Chains A and B, each alone.
Chain A
Amino acid sequence: MSNPVSASSYWIGYKTIVIKEVMRILRIWAQTLLPPAITMTLYFVIFGQLIGARIGEMGGMDYMQFIVPGLIMLSVITNSYGNITSSFFGAKFGRHVEELLVSPLPPILILAGYVTGAVFRALVVGVLVFIVAAFFSDFSIHSWPVTLSIVVLTAIVFALAGFINATFAQKFDDISIIPTFVLQPMTYLGGVFFSVDLLPGIWETIAMANPILYMVNGFRYGMLGVSDVPVSAAFGIILVFVAVLGTVCVTLLKRGTGLRT
């Protein structure tokens, strides 16, 4: 009898990738969840309490409060990106990605499975950093819908970007170049530690071209109700990135770029 291919079989396939990814993240929690929590605790202690006390106010609020959303987003971005590059490139390197490539699963579901795994890790890390932040600062959430939608969409954007990186990567060095030389500088300059109002003339204009600035500020608006940019612009930019990167990922998977011969 013919093996059926239906919506329910696709759903089982998608769920299988997600479960596998989540189990992997939880199994190696000391590599995936613990380090960002420790790093962010150090950030809060050094930048928030020690240096922040001398800085005073930023964007009309206590400096510690100001950096909390930025540091959560910093963790979300790096963990979302890092999870998918290591997991998907690892599968490619070890050739067990072939298990998926010879299966009936359509490319979009393979992508969705890996992206869901990356978003899961980003959110767990985000919650851990949020809990750590609560020990250092008092804050209440200004808008839960904005906070949650911005954090989830941002995690999706960087999961998609990481997927593209993993697709083209030939060796492990290739998955560390972009996080080190592109992602980290853009995130640090994306308004995590400062308000763009502090930047002089041309640098403010350059900073405004950094998409991460919109994501950080959109999230900061959701948490604290303040932002250097309109929240609608943040949503607009994030959604455009999701659409463009998502299309690129599906096209690459359909063509088999970097995967099929």
Chain B
Amino acid sequence: MHALEVRNLKKTYKNGVVALKGIDLTVEEGDFFALLGPNGAGKSTLIGIISSLVNASSGETRVFGISVQNDRSRAMAEIGLVPQEVNFNQFEKPFDIIVNQAGYYGVPRRIARTRAEKYLRQLQLWDKAFKPSRTLSGGMKRRLLIARAMVHEPRLLILDEPTAGVDIEIRRSMWAFIEGINRDGTTVILTTHYLEEAENLCRNIAIIDSGQIVENTTVKALLGKLDIETFVLDLSAPIEKAPQVEGMWIEMRDSTTMLASLPKSRNLNALFKMLEDEDIEVKSMRNKVNRLEELFLRLVEKQAEQSA
């Protein structure tokens, strides 16, 4: 079954801005789906329509086969939303925020309290459960949004840039939590600016730009399109200038970190030969993780050229 089905979805705001130009999108049940796009591409509008915060101009949205436009209440019961911006009452306590949210979804208070404790503990917020939520740090507030979205145990969890501005340690603990939720069967849709996040977590991906889907495929297939690979080399001793090798692009991130990009058709022997000739010793080497970033930029640039 499709967890989400969007057909010919259009949105034009009152000020004339066309946010969505007829989007078609399908997300399968159990998927971990990434929705990427530059600022102003239409991601938040799309999420707003799915979660009924924004009224569509035309088109249809179905969540597990239930129409958001025609059967809003049943459709909303299936969705948990983690918005981009903090939108809970900052004068309330995290525990109360979560218990109340559960109530809005019809979860009895006794069960709501148990679940509130469960999710606050899982997201390392239990020690803050009864403190005013305005005293939480930025990362804690983001985790509270996730706990709130999970309390009615939705089948579809939508996260709109959940890790924006969160430090790497907390980001990783959030990833682990969301991965666990997905493993347990919840379909996850994630928008993010950290392309590394999408590459590491998601199976399928759609790239949206200027209100249109410009790519919709598996992360693996998308990465397969990348014909240039970049390696990060950590050097034993600092060097002043990046050496040059024909058919490769070499640059220095800093004096001991070298970035070498080369087409997949070329082997690495030429690179290592050059390093040996130049007497450069390599301590370690790895793939640059955010390969998706290159693809993303390429797709968005291509779209911009076509629009022009």
Contacts and interface: CB of A to CB of B under 8 A. Distances in A.
B85 A15 contact: no
A10 interface: yes
A104 B155 contact: no
A101 B64 CA distance: 20
Contacts of B51: 102
Contacts of A91: 89
B52 interface: yes
Contact of B13 (A9, A19, A20, A261): A261
A8 B106 contact: yes
Interface residues of A, number: 31
B105 A104 contact: yes
Given A5-B74, A13-B106, A260 B89 contact: no
B129 to A, nearest CB: 17
B100 A99 contact: yes
A103 B104 contact: yes
A236 interface: no
A9 B53 contact: no
B126 interface: no
Contact of B81 (A2, A12, A17, A102): A102
Interface in B76-128: 76-79, 81, 83, 85, 87-90, 100-101, 103-109
B104 A99 contact: yes
Given A3-B152, A16-B100, A105 B108 contact: no
B138 interface: no
A261 B100 CA distance: 24
A100 B107 CA distance: 14
A2 B106 contact: no
B108 A12 contact: yes
B53 A15 contact: no
A203 B235 CA distance: 94
Contact of A99 (B48, B72, B77, B88): B88
Contacts of A15: 103
Contact of A105 (B53, B73, B88): B73
A13 B88 contact: no
A94 B154 CA distance: 25
Contacts of B148: 99
Given A2-B64, A256-B55, A98 B83 contact: yes
Contact of B106 (A4, A20, A98): A4
A95 interface: yes
Nearest to A10: B106
Contacts of A261: 13, 48, 53-55
B153 interface: yes
Contacts of B154: 3
Interface of A: 2-6, 8-10, 12-13, 15-17, 19-20, 91, 94-96, 98-106, 256, 260-261
15 contacts: A2-B78, A3-B153, A4-B77, A5-B77, A12-B103, A12-B109, A16-B100, A20-B100, A96-B88, A98-B87, A102-B51, A102-B53, A103-B104, A104-B105, A261-B55
8 pairs of A and B residues whose beta carbons are closest in the complex = A9-B106, A16-B103, A103-B104, A3-B77, A104-B73, A95-B87, A104-B77, A261-B54
